[in-house]
Chains A and B, each alone.
Chain A
């Protein structure tokens, strides 16, 4: 995995961390509800764990698959999935919901997993992973599959560390410095931008395959 790929994967992690729907807002609410910053800090690791799981599934699948199948098939399929999913996110008026606020650590991780999956967080990494030179040098061997999956897991890990770092920073700053009033002013419609990024990533992927 090249440095450029890791950088791109980390940048996407930062983008995901910035999205209030991906967890930092929940952590801030927890901290304010219990009137202690420790509650905020305690909420974020399970959020990151859920996000990691969601992204790792997709990333490992992609990197493992590309070690056994032709890259064109995978790229075209991946690109099409991205465009389709992005358009669905863009046009759908449904928003993901979670019924409760008082969650155990395991439930927070589960919530984060579902939230990330519903938003297609892992899919967004597709073009970056597909652009990376294949693992193991020569594709086409079944033996390369585990190594390929490992590459995906590495990417998901780097991505999640960046995501957690940004989410933590934003949460602490909003909690301790800015206050939640800032939400009214700076919370732009990330969902729409997010969907746009998904579509663009799909188009780029498809273009690369042709």
Chain B
């Protein structure tokens, strides 16, 4: 049933959203690498006033095993206020949780008890395949006209193309493939948009066989992983432009467009350059003036590899004698002022001032984990940490940053062969004066996650990568 007034977690503009109340709970996708036990949606208490602050306060198992939870998202968000399909009286209450390995899509209801999400629907891999022609569902975005779900693989043994499936807003049934004309696009990963400009952007990782058993060295050195981003006409569902970053820049993954709908730029993180193992962040922007100008990309951040003793490195990296930063996630604050960059290889979270998006300024850094560094958290200074800051989520007011440490089961095992562990950290930010400080009261890790690995965090009411806005 619909509401009489808009869902209070919807905001017309990013400026309004930045005034949102502090989140009380966070939802975390956790998975069992051995596929013997069910994956789970884990609920964390994020209310500093609560006695359970920083602890696991809810746990909902999935009905099957072997899903490998990865990314997930809300059924509805601020885009419901958009004028072309206004329906702000729906509720933000369902979590859409795809299994990246199983291709099953789970729907959890957080309304009856926010600490105990209830499974209300499972869309099987078969339905996804038959209706959309896709498998390996990944990114979830609440669009004005449906739920957009990127998917990495094809069906019936086909590796691809990957693409976008659209789910019905209310029934969560698969409506079909989104693309009317995909042009040269074949590889898929992330998707987001400039809603008011009728522009959709997608990035590239690899096909299922290129990723599911671990990163393939020959493919990487052969520059076969994705190295381009694609621009689409959101209204006509047609491919418009492929922008190649250069084939040495392997795996442009997370897409973070400006939240301000009048701006036409965004950031994309690139995992690795095969020439020097560095990582980079690129800015996409209009190539010229006017709303119809084409798109171009500019590399705005370079992060070099750190030399290391081969004896300290996993087999994969021994020949190189260096730790690649591996930028696996980036996140842009709702006010578009700060970009957070996860270096999962070196174990560093960087904070850049991107007020001038063409010239980011490094203004903060925290070291946690890392392939060689194994930097400890101040709350447990004697415990070397494996993994590194990976998925990063920023609260709507920009004051709290959450990072989780697992990348993807088989890749964790390659880069952290002695075990990636499980931990989630919260960092406090002072938006005015800078600073990025681990919160010593908030460090759920180890036993608290019952042997599961933690991949992504979503904040109750929305966060910096969950909502799109149609008003500046």
Are A and B a genuine interacting pair, yes or no? yes
- A-side interface residues toward B, CB under 8 Å? 20-21, 25-26, 28-29, 32-33, 35, 93-102, 111, 180-181, 183-185, 187-189, 191-192
Residue pair B235, A188 in contact (C-beta under 8 Å): no
Q: Is B198 an interface residue (CB 8 A)?
A: yes
Residue pair A95, B84 in contact (C-beta under 8 Å): no
Residue pair B86, A25 in contact (C-beta under 8 Å): yes
**In the complex the two chains form, what is the Cα distance from A28 to B145 in whole Å?**
20
29 contacts between A and B (CB under 8 A): A21-B86, A29-B196, A29-B470, A29-B471, A32-B262, A32-B472, A35-B262, A35-B472, A93-B2, A94-B170, A97-B85, A97-B144, A97-B145, A99-B236, A100-B234, A100-B235, A100-B236, A101-B83, A101-B84, A102-B235, A102-B291, A180-B16, A181-B16, A185-B5, A187-B5, A187-B6, A188-B5, A189-B2, A191-B2
Residue pair B145, A189 in contact (C-beta under 8 Å): no
**In the complex the two chains form, what is the Cα distance from A29 to B12 in whole Å?**
10
Q: Is B153 an interface residue (CB 8 A)?
A: no
Residue pair B262, A20 in contact (C-beta under 8 Å): no
* Cβ 8 A contact of B88, one of A93, A181, A187, A192: A187
- Contact indicator per residue, chain B 125-163, by CB within 8 Å of chain A (1) or not (0): 000000000000000000011000000000000000000
Minimum distance in angstroms from A2 CB to a CB of chain B: 35
**In the complex the two chains form, what is the Cα distance from A94 to B472 in whole Å?**
27
* Cβ 8 A contact of B12, one of A96, A111, A184: A184
Known: A32-B471, A183-B12, A192-B2. A99 touches B145 (CB 8 A): yes
**In the complex the two chains form, what is the Cα distance from A96 to B83 in whole Å?**
11
Within 8 A of A (CB), among B59-99: 81-89
Minimum distance in angstroms from B263 CB to a CB of chain A: 11
Please indicate the chain B residues that have their CB under 8 angstroms from the CB of A96 in the complex: 85
Q: Is B8 an interface residue (CB 8 A)?
A: yes
**In the complex the two chains form, what is the Cα distance from A98 to B84 in whole Å?**
5
Residue ID in chain A nearest B85 by CB atoms: A97
Known: A29-B83, A187-B5, A189-B89. A101 touches B10 (CB 8 A): no
Residue pair B472, A33 in contact (C-beta under 8 Å): yes
Residue pair A102, B197 in contact (C-beta under 8 Å): yes
Please indicate the chain B residues that have their CB under 8 angstroms from the CB of A20 in the complex: 83, 86
Residue picked from B4, B12, B169, B236, most chain A C-beta under 10 Å: B12
Please indicate the chain A residues that have their CB under 8 angstroms from the CB of B470 in the complex: 29, 101
Please indicate the chain A residues that have their CB under 8 angstroms from the CB of B471 in the complex: 28-29, 32, 180
Residue pair A184, B89 in contact (C-beta under 8 Å): no
Minimum distance in angstroms from B157 CB to a CB of chain A: 33
Known: A101-B195, A101-B198. A26 touches B84 (CB 8 A): yes
Known: A29-B196, A32-B472, A183-B6. A97 touches B84 (CB 8 A): yes
**In the complex the two chains form, what is the Cα distance from A158 to B451 in whole Å?**
70
- Contact indicator per residue, chain B 232-244, by CB within 8 Å of chain A (1) or not (0): 0011110000000
* Cβ 8 A contact of A26, one of B6, B83, B261, B291: B83
Please indicate the chain B residues that have their CB under 8 angstroms from the CB of A33 in the complex: 196, 261-262, 472
Known: A101-B84, A102-B196. 16 other contacts (CB 8 A): A29-B471, A32-B471, A33-B261, A93-B170, A95-B87, A99-B198, A100-B198, A101-B82, A102-B291, A183-B12, A184-B11, A187-B81, A189-B3, A189-B5, A191-B2, A191-B87
**In the complex the two chains form, what is the Cα distance from A98 to B261 in whole Å?**
18
Residue pair A184, B10 in contact (C-beta under 8 Å): yes
Minimum distance in angstroms from A89 CB to a CB of chain B: 12
Please indicate the chain A residues that have their CB under 8 angstroms from the CB of B16 in the complex: 180-181, 184
Minimum distance in angstroms from B351 CB to a CB of chain A: 29
Minimum distance in angstroms from A121 CB to a CB of chain B: 15
Known: A35-B262, A181-B16. A99 touches B84 (CB 8 A): yes
Q: Is B390 an interface residue (CB 8 A)?
A: no
Residue pair B198, A188 in contact (C-beta under 8 Å): no
- Contact indicator per residue, chain B 435-472, by CB within 8 Å of chain A (1) or not (0): 00000000000000000000000000000000000111
Minimum distance in angstroms from A182 CB to a CB of chain B: 9
**In the complex the two chains form, what is the Cα distance from A102 to B16 in whole Å?**
24
Minimum distance in angstroms from B146 CB to a CB of chain A: 8
Residue pair B89, A191 in contact (C-beta under 8 Å): yes
Please indicate the chain A residues that have their CB under 8 angstroms from the CB of B261 in the complex: 33
A-B residue pairs, 4 tightest by C-beta: A100-B235, A97-B85, A180-B12, A26-B83
Known: A96-B85, A101-B84. A184 touches B8 (CB 8 A): yes
Residue ID in chain A nearest B88 by CB atoms: A187
Please indicate the chain A residues that have their CB under 8 angstroms from the CB of B89 in the complex: 189, 191-192
Minimum distance in angstroms from B192 CB to a CB of chain A: 16
Please indicate the chain B residues that have their CB under 8 angstroms from the CB of A100 in the complex: 84, 198, 234-236
Please indicate the chain B residues that have their CB under 8 angstroms from the CB of A183 in the complex: 6, 12, 81, 88
Residue pair A101, B196 in contact (C-beta under 8 Å): yes
Minimum distance in angstroms from B147 CB to a CB of chain A: 13
**In the complex the two chains form, what is the Cα distance from A94 to B5 in whole Å?**
18
Please indicate the chain A residues that have their CB under 8 angstroms from the CB of B234 in the complex: 99-100
Residue ID in chain B nearest A93 by CB atoms: B170
Within 8 A of A (CB), among B1-37: 2-6, 8, 10-13, 16
Please indicate the chain B residues that have their CB under 8 angstroms from the CB of A102 in the complex: 196-198, 235, 291
